Amino acid sequence: MEDAASALVRMMGVFARGADGGWAREVEGVTAMVTGFPDPMLNAVLAVTRSGAESELLAEVARTGLPYCLETRTPDPVDEMVAVATVPVMVLDSPALLSTGNLSIRALGPEEIGLHLDCLATSVGVDRSYFAALEGGGLLRQEGVTAYLATVDDEPVATGVGIRSGEFVGIFNMGTPEKHRRQGFGAAVASRIVLDGFAHGAAGAVLQASPLGRGIYERLGFSRMELWTVWLPLRQT
């Protein structure tokens, strides 16, 4: 099986290209991605390998004027940057523990991206305008990308995006509104994403876990593969 980290970075590039005006570029095993979001984690240089191309790509991302970061698989020091966090990369190689239960979960078309963004905005506590770069629906027009919405009595209770690439499926943009948490809705949507990925030929699933989501993924059978270090430019700290 291919390297899960490489597959994850490729999916992150797909996500970036799906944003209005977003782009991604790879040089010598290092990938730069820009989404246009005002979040350094979404305008990043991703160094699966340390090839020396990081400086060139960091300069290119910095020229956008957006907040940005560097993510590396190793904690080796980086000039003019400071380590601020670590992010677990988690993998799953068997869907044995996954179940959607009886929850109504449907795949959304590109013209329905607003349903996903409404639920996501409510989940993370931001105005819908924060996700303006995704409003055009370009993300869902890309091959292998599907958004899902779970509802109870027609009320959205969880959402997420699956991206299939190579031998893996990745989980992105997961959100459960606070009043619907701890009822298994987010786990059900994550399960649906992975089950659909395996049905389309994936042999594994991969994701970067937030502190809020890590326990959910562990209960679904995901395990931590490695920790990536997140670096910010000194002037952003």
Q: Which two tokens stand for residue 193?
A: 């994403």
Task: Tell whether 45 and 148 lie within a shared domain.
Answer: no
Distance in angstroms between the alpha carbons of the first and the last residue of the chain = 38
pLDDT at res. 52: 84
Q: Which amino acid is at 121?
A: A
Q: What CATH number corresponds to the domain at position 212?
A: 3.40.630.30
Distance, in Å, from the CA atom of 76 to the CA atom of 229, rounded to the nearest integer, reads 9
Task: Tell whether 119 and 180 lie within a shared domain.
Answer: yes
Question: Could you tell me the CA-to-CA distances from 150 to 72, 132, 144, 169, 235 in Å, in that order?
Answer: 34, 22, 20, 19, 41
Distance, in Å, from the CA atom of 32 to the CA atom of 62, rounded to the nearest integer, reads 11
237 residues of the chain, pLDDT tens digit each: 568 999 999 999 999 999 999 999 999 999 999 999 999 999 999 998 888 899 999 999 999 999 999 999 988 888 899 999 999 999 999 988 899 989 999 999 999 999 999 999 999 999 999 999 999 999 999 999 999 999 999 999 999 999 999 999 999 999 999 999 999 999 999 999 999 999 999 999 999 998 888 999 999 999 999 999 999 999 886
Task: Tell whether 74 and 48 lie within a shared domain.
Answer: yes
Placement of tokens 């099986």 in the chain: 1
| Domain hosting residue 205, numbered range | 92-225
Task: Tell whether 127 and 168 lie within a shared domain.
Answer: yes
Q: Contact, 205 vs 194, CB < 8 A?
A: yes
pLDDT at res. 135: 95
Task: Tell whether 162 and 214 lie within a shared domain.
Answer: yes
Task: Tell whether 117 and 84 lie within a shared domain.
Answer: no
Task: Tell whether 113 and 164 lie within a shared domain.
Answer: yes
Task: Tell whether 48 and 121 lie within a shared domain.
Answer: no
Task: Tell whether 201 and 231 lie within a shared domain.
Answer: no
pLDDT at res. 1: 57
The residues near 9 (Cβ < 8 Å, ≥ 6 apart) are 31, 46, 48
Q: Report the number of distinct structural domains present in the chain.
A: 2
Q: Which two tokens stand for residue 89?
A: 């990369």
Task: Tell whether 231 and 181 lie within a shared domain.
Answer: no
Strand order in the sheet with 69-72: 23-27, 30-34, 43-47, 69-72, 223-233, 81-92, 204-208, 168-175, 155-165, 145-152, 104-108
Kindly report the pTM of this predicted structure: 0.95
The DSSP bridge partners found for residue 59 are: none
Task: Tell whether 163 and 183 lie within a shared domain.
Answer: yes
pLDDT at res. 231: 97
Task: Tell whether 144 and 201 lie within a shared domain.
Answer: yes
pLDDT at res. 74: 86
